[in-house]
Amino acid sequence: MIALGAAEWQAVRLSLQVALWATALSLPFGILCAHALARWRFRGHALLNVAVHLPLILPPVVTGYLLLIAFGRTGPLGRALDQVGITLAFHWTGAVLAAAIMAFPLMVRAIRLSIEAVDPKLEQAAATLGAAPWRVFVTLTLPLALPGILTGAVLAFARAMGEFGATITFVANIPGETRTLPSAIYTFLQVPGGDGPALRLVAVSLVISVAALVLSEWLARRAVRA
């Protein structure tokens, strides 16, 4: 049993909160984006593919800085959101946005591969029998691609739990507000005597990551058997 202090538990709880919200909010967009990349052919296909995978290539600090420019209080999107009472910069909701963007490519990639593995002839047969495209997608494609969707969601959750560079650039490292688990580890390593708390948080991070991977495998196998 890992005994954590109040500040450490606070960082763990915030990280779980951020990762869960980031995964839940980005999953519908991830499914639609993966389906578009896997099944549709349109003029902006290559551009969409590049945009989706860009966070994997850019340094996380660059992504965080771009978010700060766009969603900061003086940014074009930040000003508009601030007028309706939504604050992202230097707030835990901004950590959700940063984590979701950084995890999105892994989610889309896993779901896209799963959708591409679905035989298009099955979808064509359903359409021939009179099923509307949305019905084919909901009743045929999604169930068959469920293992990949679950894998993508778990990968995104794990990536969101470990997000550091974009988060600390966009929302800083405010205790109780934006200090997630990676930020807390970094903070403890900067102060004398912080090795113990940092090591405990590293252990917690390992446990959560392994549990997420085991859960992913279990859910995927159940989905295949179903």
Say how many C-beta atoms besides its own lie within 10 A of residue 65's C-beta.
17
What is the C-alpha to C-alpha distance for residues 67 and 171, in angstroms, rounded to an integer? 10
List pLDDT tens digits, range 151-193.
899 989 999 999 999 999 999 999 989 999 999 999 999 988 8
Average pLDDT over residues 41-55: 92
What is the C-alpha to C-alpha distance for residues 168 and 182, in angstroms, rounded to an integer? 9
Identity of the amino acid at 87? T
List pLDDT tens digits, range 116-147.
999 889 888 988 888 888 888 988 999 999 98
What is the C-alpha to C-alpha distance for residues 187 and 173, in angstroms, rounded to an integer? 9
pLDDT at position 67:
95
202 pLDDT higher than 60 = yes
What is the C-alpha to C-alpha distance for residues 99 and 47, in angstroms, rounded to an integer? 22
pLDDT at position 223:
67
pLDDT at position 6:
83
List pLDDT tens digits, range 73-110.
888 898 899 888 888 999 999 999 999 999 999 999 99
Range of the domain at 54: 6-225
CATH number of the domain that residue 221 is part of: 1.10.3720.10
What is the C-alpha to C-alpha distance for residues 222 and 201, in angstroms, rounded to an integer? 31
Average pLDDT over residues 197-204: 91
- Which structure tokens are listed for 205? 């991070």
Asked whether residue 104 is assigned to any structural domain, the reply reads yes
pLDDT at position 94:
95
Determine phi and psi for 121, rounding to 5 degrees: -65, -30
* Whether 176 contacts 7, CB under 8 Å: no
DSSP 14-47: HHHHHHHHHHHHHHHHHHHHHHHHHH---TTHHH
Asked whether residue 1 is assigned to any structural domain, the reply reads no
Q: Give me the number of domains the chain comprises.
A: 1
Asked whether residue 81 is assigned to any structural domain, the reply reads yes
pLDDT at position 222:
74
Average pLDDT over residues 7-11: 90
1 pLDDT higher than 60 = no
